[in-house]
Amino acid sequence: MTDLSVDARLLASDRTSGSGRDSINPTVVAIGLAALAAGALGLGAVYGWRQGALFVLGSGLGLVLYHALFGFTSAWRVFIADGRGAGLRAQMLMLAVAVILFFPALGEGSVFGQAVRGEYGAVGVSVLVGAFLFGIGMQLGGGCASGTLYTAGGGNTRMFVTLSAFIIGSTVGALHLPWWSAQPNIGPVSLIASLGWAPALAISLVVFAAIALLTRFVEKKKHGTLLNGAEPTHHGWRRLLQGPWPLLAGAVALALGNFATLYLAGRPWGVTSAFALWGSKLVALTGADVASWGYWQVPARAASLQQSVFADITSVMDFGIILGAMIAAGLAGKFSPSWRIPARSLIAAIIGGLLLGYGARLAYGCNIGAYFSGIASGSLHGWVWLVAAFTGSILGTRLRPVFGLSVERSGRA
């Protein structure tokens, strides 16, 4: 499943309908590959080989997200509205592979000699409110953090609206975060530090299995059969090149990609801190004293505010995701931007994007930084984020028809 708004969902339908419009777009692919090579070489020359490698890795993640139609928003929405759980089961597989790789490494503190740390956030009011708002924003905006990037890169013009509002919301969230961080919380909680990596791993795997089994039970009770992803319209090398890939293969690839990020960057994959950085830099151009904000008083953040965005790991990977999705769309012959966006859908994209950005900052991350990487790091805030964001998604799913957005329902026997 992917993070699909109305026009993104139609794009996915085209890819699986056997319509024949599947010729590779050589111009898009050539431009994308040229930009990938130039970007990797330039970043490597200026900032070191790891930065160039992270740009390539981000592109690979974008390609995987697009070709596997993998995401979070519609996977949750389809389960909420219709009891279909293939997307959630794929997420549980992704998390299971991730913790198997992450927990021993984080317990040791290094990967192949590279010092590594997890992604942790304080457990309290801020993460509860932020994740709940993010969940609503997912359903109105039509995508999560990774979904917004890769569907925009794949040619979905509505998602550029969501992304712009996402950046604005993240910037306002950065300004307000010190107040939210001061609200009641118990601080960061590491299951690895509290229990040891082996017990924490065993408990995590049991919970993943329980969630996966629950989705199977709900789906079989409601429909009698299970659906496990899009039916392939290509086989062999054409499927590898043009997709759609098996959903579970995408889950494993994303887990491996996050572990590669841990090694190259020294910390897990994140997405939305870059949005706060981009927005704050734009605000600074107006003459505002952005550096005085409490959010930017943290030494590591202050350094990124002063440097080029190309020195920022998260920004570079985000650029890569967009580029990788563009290449994937070109390979699939589906890169065809359309500027026709219904007014109510446009309003939903703006509201959703603002909620996504603001919520991500309050919750110390998004579906990638808090949910995926947080749980992979053994952070309790990742689990709290999951519950709060899923609850917000229930409300967001109910609100979609108000804005003329569909709620996918699979056919019943």
**Rounded percentage of the chain residues whose pLDDT exceeds 90:** 77
What are phi and psi for residue 154, nearest 5 degrees? -80, 0
Is-cis flag, bond preceding 244, omega within 30?
Answer: yes
Cβ count near 101 (within 10 Å): 19
Read off the pLDDT of residues 292-328 as tens digits, 9 standing for 90 and up.
Answer: 999 999 988 999 999 999 999 999 999 999 999 999 9
Most confidently predicted of 18-22, 82-86, 209-213, 224-228? 209-213
Lowest-confidence segment of 21-30, 61-70, 90-99, 112-121 by average pLDDT: 21-30
**Is 273 part of any domain?**
yes
pLDDT of 240 over the 80 cut: no
pLDDT band, residue 1 (cuts 50/70/90) = very low
Distance from chain centroid for Cα 309: 20
pLDDT of 366 over the 80 cut: yes
Quote the pLDDT of residue 151: 87
Average the pLDDT over 32-39 and give the result.
Answer: 97
**Is 408 part of any domain?**
no
**Is 167 part of any domain?**
yes
Distance CA 350, CA 347 (A): 5
Average the pLDDT over 337-356 and give the result.
Answer: 92
Average the pLDDT over 104-127 and give the result.
Answer: 95
Distance CA 199, CA 222 (A): 35
Quote the pLDDT of residue 244: 83
pLDDT of 16 over the 60 cut: no
Average the pLDDT over 3-31 and give the result.
Answer: 56
Average the pLDDT over 178-205 and give the result.
Answer: 97
Quote the pLDDT of residue 336: 76
Domain count along the chain: 1
**Is 413 part of any domain?**
no
Q: Which residue has the higher pLDDT, 70 or 174?
A: 174
What are phi and psi for residue 122, nearest 5 degrees? -65, 140
Both tokens of 306, joined, read 């002063």
**Is 341 part of any domain?**
yes
Distances (CA, A) of 289 to 166, 171, 292, 293, 304: 22, 13, 6, 8, 15
Q: Which pTM does this prediction carry?
A: 0.91
Average the pLDDT over 154-181 and give the result.
Answer: 94
Average the pLDDT over 349-378 and give the result.
Answer: 97
pLDDT of 19 over the 80 cut: no
Q: Which residue has the higher pLDDT, 113 or 240?
A: 113
Domain residues for 22?
6-400
**Is 406 part of any domain?**
no
SS3 assignment for the chain: CCCCCHHHHHHHHHHHCCCCCCCCCHHHHHHHHHHHHHHHHHHHHHHCHHHHHHHHHHHHHHHHHHHCCCCCHHHHHHHHHHCCCHHHHHHHHHHHHHHHHHHHHHHHCEECCEECCCCCCEEEHHHHHHHHHHHHHHHHHCCCHHHHHHHHHCCCHHHHHHHHHHHHHHHHHHHHHHHHHCCCEEEECEHHHHHCHHHHHHHHHHHHHHHHHHHHHHHHHHHCCCCCCCCCCCCCHHHHHHCCCCHHHHHHHHHHHHHHHHHHHCCCCCCCHHHHHHHHHHHHCCCCCHHHCHHHHCHHHHHHHHCCHHHCHHHHHHHHHHHHHHHHHHHHCCCCCCCCCCHHHHHHHHHHHHHHHHHHHHCCCCHHHHHHHHHHCCEHHHHHHHHHHHHHHHHHHHHHHHHCCCCCCCCCC
**Is 48 part of any domain?**
yes
Q: Hey, what amino acid is at 69?
A: L
Average pLDDT, the chain: 90
**Is 409 part of any domain?**
no
Cβ atoms of 296 and 306 closer than 8 Å: no
Both tokens of 248, joined, read 């579970």
